[in-house]
Structure 1
Amino acid sequence: MKAHVVGAGLAGLGAATALAARGVAVELSEAAAQAGGRCRSYFDPQIGLVIDNGNHLVLSGNQAVHEYLARIGASDRLTGPVETQFPFVDLATQRAWTVRPNAGAVPWWILSPSRGVPGAKFTDFLAMAGLLRAKPGQRVDEAVRCQGPVWERLMRPFLLAALNAEPESAAAELAAQVIRETLARGGAAYAPRVPSPGLSATFVNPALDYLEARGGTLRLQRRLLKLRTDGERVTGLEFSDGLVEVAARDRIILAVPPWVAKDLAPQLTTPERFEGIVNGHFRVRTGDGSARIIGVLNGTVEWIFCFEDRISVTVSGANRLMSTGREDLARQFWADVSLALDLGPDLPPWQIIKERRATFLATADQQARRPAARTAYTNLVLAGDWTATGLPATIEGALRSGARAAGLVQEAFA
């Protein structure tokens, strides 16, 4: 009795560790030379530092994240401010402010000039409540008016980061679920948290150690080429290193990108449009090692992450930047960083990372194409942030999907 988990991104790692915790024998296969998928760290010789392939922000209320980190013994590897706060700077006006919500669910902070959004009135916040009544198939701009200080100075940058899509045209039901699980629950649910010292040290390496300690096996550079089936169940897995027969009681979790899943199982309906993310990294010493996160308006850069040894920036909804040269992007990004943080104009050592298919496009039509975890095959389930998690493509969604897939597999073993 064994669980074959194909794909060692966070969805696969979440599923594999959840099964190992229940005493299930796990074999984890990954096509790449390292685990982690889009959530990993590596040493970059151009910048001379260990950097993350992308900047991934999690929030204090991300329950699946906290359950996963507790399982693998890495709960102490998220850092962030004790009090929920989001500094912003508008590059067009050079105005800076900090949104500081109170911890409880009653949002009295919106009435405080020193804690809220500049120029916002109570009615501006109240207007955003329309998102919570959004219906499936609606765009965000069909559920609320996308204008005014609360939209422009808080909701738009927040949703752009969460959805990785232009918020106005994104699926309103996804935006609504993000708000229900964060903003609507009070400041204690959305304090920003950053993996420290990096993605691999937080999410990947402890998971691999956890699996090894429980008898799990990891096989890297092992690509799944084909599913052999008898019409009802998967009977064999054709990997690049040979065929694996699937025993009657074995179960398979397919935790691969949607385009790979579609190639392996053409009958699946999966998202087919994607959006990119661009990250920039600059070798600059910034202080005491505690990460600071700054939102940027009216620039190319949208979020700045200040670490002890580097500054990293993120641009979401970045398909428009994919054809721009890397050095041109580095100079654009550094111009924004320099202006936002009052640094010198000289470009420090840099690296630009483009994720061309970072997430599925979070529009209503693509949301409708997200499949459930169960498939037509009795012994095959899906995991991934692109499956029907109810959330956008986030770390929380990936880990939630892994836990769901592990639960379905455990039911079969019961």
Structure 2
Amino acid sequence: MNFTRATIAGAGLAGLAAAVALRRADVAVTIADSAAQAGGRCRSYHDPQLGLTIDNGNHLVLSGNAAVTRFRAAISADTPLAGPEHADFAFRDLTSGAGWTVRINDGPLPWWVLAPGRRVPGSRAADYLPLARLLGREEARIDARIDAKGPVWERLLRPVLLAALNTDPAASSAALAGAVLRETVAKGGRAMRPRVAEPSLAAAFIDPALAWLAARHSAVTLGRRLRAIDFTGDRVTALDWGAGREPVSADEAVILAVPPAVATALVPGLAAPDDFRAIVNGHFAFPAPAGAPPMLGLIGGTAEWVFAFPDRLSVTVSAAEAIVDRDREGLARTFWADIQAALGIDHPMPRWQIVKEKRATFAATPQQNAKRPPAATRWRNLFLAGDWTDTGLPATIEGALRSGETAAKLALRSGTR
């Protein structure tokens, strides 16, 4: 029997991607989320302390992210993603004051490593050859594949991989790093141009998805938490949303697009990542100075990346366990000092906000990567979605969207048996 209906628990990007894919296949979709707003970790909100609309975090996508392109095209998202015309990555060393820009050429042949003005200062073309060892698919720690030292590591690879993996890069999964590199650097600069949502993640992803679904009679219900699942044989037979068991019909698929801790509490025997890393973001109500790069990597400071928006400056710190419990105002002052040094700003600290995500992503280690479950389960009408499932990518927007697409495809395929 074909699945003509689907119930999706979770309205983050994974759940929304699954809902859009199923609705495009004429499957009736019901979506619910326990939160007060859709978007999961990719949410935007008006912050009264700043007087601005901000994102909970500075989420970056790349021009070669195919699922991002597919999703935005499907929901007719017309808010552009901002970023440079080419794959230019600006950096500043706060200790020495030195600044440089790595300029990756558009085509797949990496001649940029031969040009001293394009590559990392102090590096030679031969220093980039060991990176080929990270392009494989076999699992290992990154520092078992390459030497985690030298100018290319410290001034390019480490900060980029830290942002992508949200885990100490040396101890991170070489398989996940390889997946990122194969889809970006290995394809050339056209696939590596950084893109940031402006004015917000909600405008670029969430709002158009909700509008698209609502126009097709699939509005998201908020404040509705899935509390229990009933299983009979090889099927999910009922869902409990807090008001008693609701039967699941024979023609209905169920997709869990919830955090891993929630999924493992609901699904018996489910293994999932159980070690997580924090992200700390700082937002400042200060317009970007003229000439400031839209994204600037910092070496030698507490802040790791500075994002320049027309109405604010934001910073991000990945794998932030060392600072996540620090005093918020102290963090703001530290971040503002880094911003001042990086951008040459002489101004008292403006209105600020600190946003902490203590369990932002699973730790991208070989051990945690091995715990990621597939989208299919042993129940023929239950499927999993989320950046923590086995997407082959780290916990990114691209991975979340792909997980939703995969869950929807499996549901459509299973329903035709």
Normalised by the length of structure 2, the TM-score is 0.97
Q: Is 1:131 the equivalent of 2:134?
A: yes
Q: Which residue of 2 aligns with 1:154?
A: 156
Q: Pick from 384, 387, 390 the counterpart of residue 389 of structure 2.
A: 387
Matched, 1:85 2:118: no
> Structure 2 counterpart of 1:274, which letter?
F
Deviation of 1:337 (Å): 0.5
Matched with 2:52 is: 49
Of the three residues 2, 5, 27, the one matched with 1:2 is: 5
Question: Quick one: distance in 2 between partners of 1:208 and 1:167?
Answer: 36
Tell me, what secondary structure is at the counterpart of 1:125? helix
1:334 matched to which residue of 2? 336
User: Which one-letter code corresponds to 2:136 in the other structure?
Assistant: R
Deviation at 1:217, TM superposition (A): 3.1
Quote the offset at 1:196 in angstroms. 1.4
CA RMSD for the aligned pairs? 1.4
Distance (whole Å) between structure 2 residues aligned to residue 346 and residue 240 of structure 1:
50
> Which of 14, 18, 21 is 2:17 aligned to?
14
AA in 1 matched with 2:410: L
In the TM superposition, 1:283-302 aligns within 5 A as 283-286=285-288, 292-302=294-304
Contact 2:137 2:179 in 1 (8 A): no
Structure 2 partner of 1:27: 30
> Which residue type is aligned with residue 132 of structure 2?
A
Compared CA separation, residues 268 and 192, structure 1 to 2 (3 A): same
Q: How does 1:45-124 map to 2 (within 5 A)?
A: 45-124=48-127
Please tell me the residue identity of whatever aligns with 2:29. V
Q: Percent identity?
A: 53
User: What residue is the counterpart of 1:203 in the other structure?
Assistant: 205
Per-residue CA deviations over 1:326-380 (Å, capped at 9, x if unaligned) read 1111011111001000112521100000001000000011000000001111110
Contact 2:114 2:125 in 1 (8 A): yes
Displacement after TM superposition at 1:200 (Å): 0.6
Taking the aligned partners of 1:405 and 1:337, their CA distance within structure 2 comes to: 41
After TM superposition, give the deviation of residue 288 of structure 1 in Å. Answer: 7.5
Runs (4+) off by over 2 Å: 240-244, 287-291
Correspondent of 2:353 among 346, 351, 354: 351
How far does residue 240 in structure 1 lie from its aligned partner after superposition?
2.4
Question: Take 2:128 and 2:254, find their aligned partners in 1: how far apart are those partners?
Answer: 46
Question: SS in structure 2 opposite 1:58?
Answer: strand
Q: 1:248 aligns with which of 247, 250, 254?
A: 250
> Which residue is equivalent to 1:305?
307
Which has the higher mean CA deviation after the structures are superposed, 320-329 or 388-397?
A: 320-329
* Correspondence 1:319 to 2:354: no
Question: Is 1:187 the counterpart of 2:189 in the alignment?
Answer: yes
* Counterpart Cα distance in 2 of 1:290 and 1:116: 20
User: How far did residue 231 of structure 1 move?
Assistant: 3.4
Find the aligned partners of 1:76 and 1:229 in 2 and give their Cα distance. 42
CA–CA separation in structure 2 for the residues paired with 1:252 and 1:310: 41
Give the whole-Å Cα distance in 2 for the aligned partners of 1:48 and 1:291. Answer: 24
Shift of 1:77: 2.3
Deviations 1:232-274 (A, max 9, x none): 2110110024432100110001000000001101310000000
CA distance in 1, matches of 2:236, 2:290: 53
Task: Give secondary structure in 1 for the equivalent of 2:87.
Answer: coil
What corresponds to 2:375 in structure 1? Answer: 373
Is residue 239–residue 246 contact of structure 2 (8 Å, CA) maintained in 1? yes
Shift of 1:287: 5.3
Q: Structure 2: give runs of 5+ residues left out of the alignment.
A: none
How many residues matched?
413
Shift of 1:323: 1.4
> Is 1:223 paired with 2:225?
yes
What SS does the aligned partner of 1:161 have? helix
The one-letter code matched in structure 1 to 2:276 is: F
Rounded Cα–Cα distance in structure 2 between residues aligned with 1:86 and 1:251:
44
